[in-house]
């Protein structure tokens, strides 16, 4: 199994995955090239809640978008989110471990189709999404 560990880059200001954004999530991922999937485990702080002890819906969408977007690395392209549909199935807790998993569905020309889930500590699916990304450029090294 070929795993690539994706850590926040010090010069990247991205709210989701950048290392240079002190208010960001600084997400870390493990990209499995062989199975064409990605995952991350984390605990959201209460700073990211909407209602009492539940993650804000926008943060849930961001987590899924970040995970699915990182899959575009498999094609060595920079791609932007063109469409994303999120199903909020159960509350996503703050201050508890959650797992984000995403996998590649298909590539149709410049369109990259992905799906992702957020799972609770018990393995139950809390939210899921499908997205279409559009490749806009080749990816530069170390980005």
Domain 3-138, CATH class in plain words: alpha beta
Q: Does pTM surpass 0.85?
A: yes
Distance CA 101, CA 128 (A): 9
Contact 72, 36 (CB under 8 A): no
What pLDDT is recorded for position 128? 98
Average pLDDT for runs of 10 along the chain of length 143: 89 90 93 96 95 95 97 95 98 97 97 98 97 93 54
What pLDDT is recorded for position 141? 62
H or E segment to which residue 59 belongs: helix 57-70
Q: Where are the domains of the chain?
A: 3-138
What pLDDT is recorded for position 143? 47
């Amino acid at each position: 199994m070929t795993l690539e560990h994706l850590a926040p880059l010090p010069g990247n200001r991205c709210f989701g995955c950048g290392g240079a954004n002190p208010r960001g999530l600084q997400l870390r991922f493990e990209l499995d090239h062989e199975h064409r999937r990605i995952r991350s485990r984390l605990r959201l702080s209460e700073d990211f809640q909407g209602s009492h002890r539940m993650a804000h819906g926008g943060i849930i969408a961001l987590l899924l978008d970040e995970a699915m977007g990182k899959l575009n690395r498999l094609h060595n392209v920079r791609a932007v989110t063109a469409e994303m549909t999120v199903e909020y199935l159960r509350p996503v807790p703050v201050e508890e471990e959650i797992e984000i998993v995403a996998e590649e569905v298909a590539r149709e020309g410049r369109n990259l189709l992905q799906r992702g889930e957020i799972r609770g500590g018990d393995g139950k699916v809390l939210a899921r999404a499908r997205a279409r990304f559009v490749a806009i450029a080749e990816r530069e090294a170390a980005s």
